[in-house]
Amino acid sequence: MNYYFIACRTGGEEKVRAHLNKFFIRERGEMHEVDIFIPMRRMIDRRKGKKIMSDHPILPGYLLLSSEEPLTDFVMDIHRIPGCYGFLHNLDKTIELKGPDHQYAAWIMHNKGTIKPSKVVYTQGEPIKVVEGPLQDFMGTVISVDYRHNRVMVEFQFAEVIRKVSMPVEFIQPDSGTPNLD
């Protein structure tokens, strides 16, 4: 599987995604086999004292594409799509993701584009243990824990840069397996 990231106007990801879908249907037909995702994380937010689930972009301004066939023939055409800045390039000028970027994209695609809260066991002063969920096979490092907002700060490498992102978690008691309602 080939993975690609496309840069676009932040906040305009949905519009660019719709234009890309139309473009690939027009260029490759109904069976275009190009999946386009806005990498999202499902967060547990507090509003007026209540916990609600909402989706937030992991990398604002980027779309993730996957295709069995190479998309190198479309590099110039993608620049013509409104709000789209084009494919991200590797240092060797290729556009297919490689190494850690490819692993990161595969992890997002394995989770269908949306990273849902993982279940974790955490006792202060001890390493965090991911029991279930997308962070179980994550290729990054947990650097801090936020009990109140049900989040952990993780860092990972993307496009040769170390990035820090807050990811959703659900804390469970180490012995009982029931949710911690702090």
**Model confidence band, residue 139 (pLDDT cutoffs 50, 70, 90):** low
**Model confidence band, residue 101 (pLDDT cutoffs 50, 70, 90):** confident
- What is the rounded distance in angstroms from the CA atom of residue 127 to the CA atom of residue 73? 46
Task: Identify whether 92 is part of a domain.
Answer: yes
In which domain, by residue range, is 156 found? 2-171
Q: Where are the beta strands (DSSP E) in the chain?
A: 2-8, 34-37, 40-47, 50-57, 62-67, 84-87, 114-115, 118-121, 129-132, 141-146, 151-158, 161-171
Instruction: Work out the percent of the chain whose per-residue pLDDT is above 70.
Output: 91
Report yes or no on whether pTM surpasses 0.85.
no
Task: Identify whether 179 is part of a domain.
Answer: no
- What is the rounded distance in angstroms from the CA atom of residue 146 to the CA atom of residue 153? 8
Which domain CATH number covers 132? 3.30.70.940
Q: What pLDDT was estimated at residue 177?
A: 47
pLDDT at 78 > cutoff 80: yes
Other Cβ atoms less than 10 A from the Cβ of 16: the count is 23
Task: Identify whether 181 is part of a domain.
Answer: no
- What is the rounded distance in angstroms from the CA atom of residue 83 to the CA atom of residue 19? 9
**Model confidence band, residue 175 (pLDDT cutoffs 50, 70, 90):** low
Task: Identify whether 156 is part of a domain.
Answer: yes
Task: Identify whether 176 is part of a domain.
Answer: no
Task: Identify whether 29 is part of a domain.
Answer: yes
pLDDT at 178 > cutoff 50: no
Task: Identify whether 121 is part of a domain.
Answer: yes
Which residue, among 165, 173, 105, 171, has the nearest Cα to 133 in the 3D structure?
A: 171
Task: Identify whether 85 is part of a domain.
Answer: yes
pLDDT tens per residue across span 147-159: 877 888 888 776 6
Could you give the number of structural domains in the chain?
Answer: 1
